Structure 1
Amino acid sequence: MEKHNVGIRSLGSYVPEGIRDSFYISEASGIPEPVIREKFGIKLVHKAGPEESVSAMGVKAALRALDGMDPKELDMVVYCGSEYKDYYMFNCAAKIKYDIGADRAVAFEIHNLCSGGVYGLKVLKAMMLQDPSLRRVLMVSSSKEGDLINYKDTDSRFMFNFGDGAAAVVLERDLGRNVILESAMIADGQFSTDVYVPGIGCNNRDNFDNMTYEDRFLRVRDLKDMKSRLDPVTLKNFCGVMEQAVANSGYTNSDVGFIAPICMKKSMLVGLLDHFGLTEDKSFLLEDYGHCQSADCFISMEEGLRHGRLADGDLVVTISAGTGYTWASTVIRWGPCDG
C-alpha cells in the first residue's frame, strides 16, 4: 500500500513593533527589574496597538508563510491561536481565509490554549492523510493576550511574559520533506479552573454590568495552591510528553536534534536540553518575543532555521503547555525524507 506523508512546506511569523521591556514591566508591576530579567526570564515582549487585531496579525503571518504561493491553492485555513480574538464568538479562521484571498478553502478552528498549535499538527496530519482533497492547508496562530495581563496583580506574574504576535505554517500532503511524525499529550484537568478571565462567560452572563476592572484580565484563582500542585510535575511532564512523542515516532532520546519550545525561562529550557543531551545551540530561547500563545514553537523553528541551528536531518521535537493543564509534543523529521 502506498505510504503518504504530510510535511511543513513553509513557516512565517509576525510580531508588532511595540515593545514592553523588562523596565516597563518592572515599573508597571513594582517588581525590581533584575527579578523580571533574571528570575522571570523576561527581556522584552511585543505589544500590538489597539488598531491591530488578532486576525490582522494572523493575516500578516499567513502571507509570510505563503511566501508568494497563490492563496487559491489552499484547501483549508485553520486558526489555532488565542480564544481572545477580534470579537467574542467570532470565526477568526473565516476572517483570515477571506482576507488572504483563499477563495477555495474551507475554514475551521482548533482551540487548546497554548498547546493548540503543537497538537493541531497531529489533527491536521490525520485529516490530510484521510482526505486526499486536503492537499495544502494553512494553520495560523495569533495572540493579543498582552491585553489580558494586569501587572498590578502579582499573583498572575507567571503570565507577565505574554506578548503579542502570530505564526503560520503551510502543510502539504506528500511533500516528502519536513515530515510530521507522531505526537503525545498529557492532560491534567485538576488545573482547569486555576487560570481564567472571571468577568466573561456563561457563569457570569447575568452579572456583566457589575464586572470590575480586574475581572477583565486573566486571573489566578489561588496561586499558592496552584503552584503546590503544578511545580512538582512541570518538568516531569515536559520531559515525559516529549519522550513519548519521540518513542511514538520510532526514535529514541539520543536521536533528537532540535527542541522547538514554548516560551520558557532559560533554566527550564536548559533542563530540557540536558535531558536530551543537547546544548543551547540546538534550540532557541524566545527572550526577544515573549509568550505568543501557541505560535511559540513555530517561531522557535523559524529562528532555528535563520540562525543555522536547525538543519536537514534533524529530528525536531516541539513542546508546549497550556493552562488547563495540557502538555503536548509533536515530532518532525526536518529535511528530505520518505515517510
Structure 2
Amino acid sequence: MGGIVDFAVAFPSARADIRAMHSASGVALADLARITHCESFPVLADGERSWELALGAARTVLDRTGVPASRIRQVVYAGSGEWDRPFWSPAAKVGHLLGADDAHCYEVANFCNAGMTAIRLLCAAGALNEGEYALVLVSDRLSRMVDYRDPDSKALFNFGDAAAAVLLQGGAGRFRFLHSAMRTDGSWADYYAGEPADGRVLIKRTAHRTGLADAYVRQFTALVDENLAAVGRTRDNIAHFLINHGDRDMHERLLGSLGIPAERSVFNYDRLAHMGGADTLIALGDLRDAGRLRSGDLIMLATSAMGFSWGITTLEYQG
C-alpha cells in the first residue's frame, strides 16, 4: 500500500465574475449567486495553460519535500481528457520538465474523479515498492469549456480552474491510504457532453432529467459505508469529510443524511467555486494549514464526476 507524502495546489491568474456572466447570458445576478456562492473565482487567463499550473504545483511539492525528480517512477496526469492540446500527453511534458527521466508518464481521464482514481491505482498493493515515488497531477481547463452566453448552461457557471500535485510513496506517507471505493451509473453518460464550437469544446447538457440529486446521496452513502466496513470504523470515527464543491445544497444534504456535523467538513464556497478535481485537496490543505489535523484522524474525500461516477477515498493522517 502507499500513501501521500505531500501535496500542493496552484491557482490561475484570472477570475470569472458573475457580473460578466450576467451581461453575457442575461441570467439574473441573484440566480448566478445561488450557483457560484461568490462573486468571483479563479479561472485560466487567455493563453494560460493548465499543464503549467500542474508543473508549478509539482515543483512546489518536490522543493518542499526534497525528493529528487529522478526518484519518481510514475507521473500521472488526471482530469477530463480535454487537455491543453489535442492528441498530446501533458504527463510526459511535465515529467520531462521536472527531470523525471526514468518515470512512466501517462494520463487518467475520469473528469473530477480522476485524481482520486489515479491515487487509488497507485496506492494499491504492489503498485509502488517501499520507498518508490509517484506523482499525480490533477488539472483541467473546465472554465474554458463553459459558454457564458448560454443561459441553459448556467448550472456550469461555477466551474473554475486549479491544479494540484500529489506526491505518493510506497509505504504509509503522511496520509496513509486505507481504502477507496468507486462506482459509475452509466445511465447518466449522455447527460452532459462536449460540442465543438468556435474553435473550442463547450459542455452542453441534454434535456433536463430528474433524479441526479438523489443518485448523489444514494451512491455516496453506499460508498461511505463500504469504506467504513473495509477499515473497521463507523461514521462517528470520521474526523473530516471533504467533498468537491459542485453544489453546496448537495454538500449540506449529504452531511445531514450521513449524520456528519458541518464542522467536520470544509466549506470554501464564499471564496471559491468548483475548482474541478482539486476541490478536496484544497480543503485538505486548508485543514493542514490551520493545524486542524491530529494524528490518527480518519479523512474521507468524496469526489464525483460527469459520466456519472462517484468515489470515496479514505486516508489516515499520520502526523
TM normalised by structure 2 equals 0.91
2:14 pairs with 1:31: no
CA distance in 2, matches of 1:215, 1:98: 27
- 1:46-72 per-position Cα deviation (integer Å, ceiling 9, x unaligned): 121222212111101111222243222
CA distance in 2, matches of 1:333, 1:133: 18
Go from structure 1 to structure 2 and tell me whether the alpha carbon gap of 1:75 and 1:257 turns closer, same or farther (over 3 Å shift). same
The corresponding residue for 1:182 is 179
Go from structure 1 to structure 2 and tell me whether the alpha carbon gap of 1:184 and 1:140 turns closer, same or farther (over 3 Å shift). same
For residues 46-85 of structure 1, the aligned pairs below 5 Å read 46-66=42-62, 67=64, 68-85=66-83
Q: CA deviation at 1:155?
A: 2.2
Select the residue among 9, 14, 18 that pairs with 2:5. 9
The corresponding residue for 1:219 is 204
Q: CA deviation at 1:266?
A: 2.9
Q: Name the structure with the higher strand share.
A: 2
For residues 256-267 of structure 1, the aligned pairs below 5 Å read 256-267=238-249
Partner AA of 1:114 in structure 2: C
CA distance in 2, matches of 1:39, 1:54: 24
- Residues matched between the structures, number: 316
CA distance in 1, matches of 2:146, 2:259: 36
The corresponding residue for 2:95 is 97
- Structure 1 unaligned runs (5+)? 200-211
CA distance in 2, matches of 1:289, 1:8: 24
Go from structure 1 to structure 2 and tell me whether the alpha carbon gap of 1:42 and 1:302 turns closer, same or farther (over 3 Å shift). same
Q: CA deviation at 1:7?
A: 1.4
Partner AA of 2:149 in structure 1: K
CA contact (8 A) 2:2 2:170 kept: yes
CA contact (8 A) 2:120 2:180 kept: yes
CA contact (8 A) 2:5 2:173 kept: no
CA contact (8 A) 2:55 2:94 kept: yes
Deviation larger for 257-266 or 270-279 = 270-279
CA contact (8 A) 1:246 1:317 kept: no
CA contact (8 A) 1:257 1:278 kept: no
The corresponding residue for 2:278 is 295
CA distance in 2, matches of 1:176, 1:56: 26
- Structure 2 unaligned runs (5+)? none
Partner AA of 1:35 in structure 2: D
The corresponding residue for 2:146 is 149
The corresponding residue for 1:328 is 311
Find the residue that maps to 2:211 and give its secondary structure: helix
CA distance in 1, matches of 2:26, 2:253: 29
Q: CA deviation at 1:86?
A: 1.7
CA distance in 2, matches of 1:134, 1:193: 42
TM normalised by structure 1 equals 0.86
> Percent identity at matched positions?
25
Go from structure 1 to structure 2 and tell me whether the alpha carbon gap of 1:162 and 1:39 turns closer, same or farther (over 3 Å shift). closer
Deviation larger for 246-255 or 108-117 = 246-255
